[in-house]
Amino acid sequence: MKIFLNNRIPQNGIDLLKNNKLELIIPTDDHLSHEDWLKHCQSADVILNVGKNKFDKSFFDQCPNIKAIVLFSVGFDQVDVEEATRRGIPIGNTPEVLNKATSDVAFLLMQMVSRKVNYNIEKVKGGQWKDFDSMEALGQELYGKKLGILGLGRIGFEMAKKCRAAFDMKIIYHNRHHNHEAEQELDATYVSFEELLSQSDVISIHANYTPGEAGKFDKAAFEKMKSNAIFINTARGGFHNESDLLQAVQSGTIWGAGLDVTNPEPMHADNPLLQLPNVVILPHIGSATAEARAGMSRVAAENIIAFSKNLPMPSCANPDVYQQQM
């Protein structure tokens, strides 16, 4: 069985695959053209994908030999899961192992925005640290504030725990379904999306992204938020309309924003959001710890090994594919 790995991952996953006698195709060029990437896909049985390559109907038509795809990510929005399932192709992903690391970044962004950290760092670096001014660049405290979470799953739960423990924040959330564990352990309250917007002092997105969620946080949504509200997105950039977000922060409609994801990625260096004192942008580093990435590498390898043995993948985005194969 040939496994195409399009970019580097921690060695522990590669060792697992090799120890299970699986043949790895690893190009020496980390920046393949789309044409070269497609050629490698056409020669493989399984793809271990790192990055944002698209797997849609056109891809599956061009690569009819593909038997499984394993993503080096939790999110699977770049895959037409319905089409893959129809063709009997399981889609592996890497949940759980990056919950703490990604929630750490959301927690960090919330604090950085609330105290205008980027602005103050640049002031020091630029020689603008002047005498004490009691009204200069005031931030806001988070104690006792209300945290609203869109998508209170594994990562959102970790974020809520941190905010509850550190700042005694009250937790509200909007999900497809109730999270009874969060309601019991964190006294979290389920609310409508409209209530999430109007009641939250901080809104943090941790939901799975689908095309139907595109621009969910737009001008109309920001206008329903509190003027002191902090908007945090560590999920996918498609959730927010960046021009509307810029206008909302510039006009004081909301307090500020912290983003680990943008649309497009990478963000252009001249994006005016980067110039605002109460906005913090990070380059999609939610899972960027040695521990989380090693965990992702292990889970990805375990998915492939299970598939090679005709077993269900331990972490599968479309488990229904196994039902239709029975």
Phi, psi of 109 (to 5 degrees): -60, -45
Amino acid, single-letter form, for residue 294: A
pLDDT at 121: 95
Q: What is the pLDDT of residues 195-229, one digit of tens each?
A: 999 999 999 999 999 889 999 999 999 999 999 99
Examine the residue annotation and report whether 268 is marked as an active-site residue of this protein: no
Q: What is the DSSP string of 268-296?
A: PTT-GGGG-TTEEE--S-TT-SHHHHHHH
* Half-sphere exposure of residue 14: CA atoms within 13 angstroms, side-chain side: 11
Under 8 Å between Cβ of 103 and 155: yes
Average of pLDDT values for 286-313? 98
* Catalytic site includes residue 86: no
Whether residue 90 is predicted with pLDDT greater than 70 in this model: the reply is yes
Is 236 one of the annotated active-site residues of the chain?
yes
Residue tagged active-site, from 82, 122, 136, 265: 265
Percent of the chain past pLDDT 70, that is, above it, reads 99
Selected catalytic residue, list 40, 174, 240, 284: 284
CA distances from residue 208 to 13, 47, 77, 163, 315 in whole angstroms, order as listed: 25, 22, 8, 21, 15
pLDDT at 29: 78
pLDDT reported for residue 324 = 65
| Under 8 Å between Cβ of 83 and 58 | no
pLDDT on residue 31: 80
Catalytic hit among 40, 236, 240, 298: 236
Considering only CA atoms, give the Rg of the chain. Answer: 21
pLDDT at position 278 is 96
- In three-state secondary structure terms, 28 is coil
pLDDT value, residue 325: 60
Q: pLDDT digits over 257-290, tens only? A: 999 999 999 999 999 999 999 999 999 999 999 9
Distance, CA of 236 to chain centre: 5
Nearest partner of 322 among 75, 313, 82, 66, judged by Cα = 313
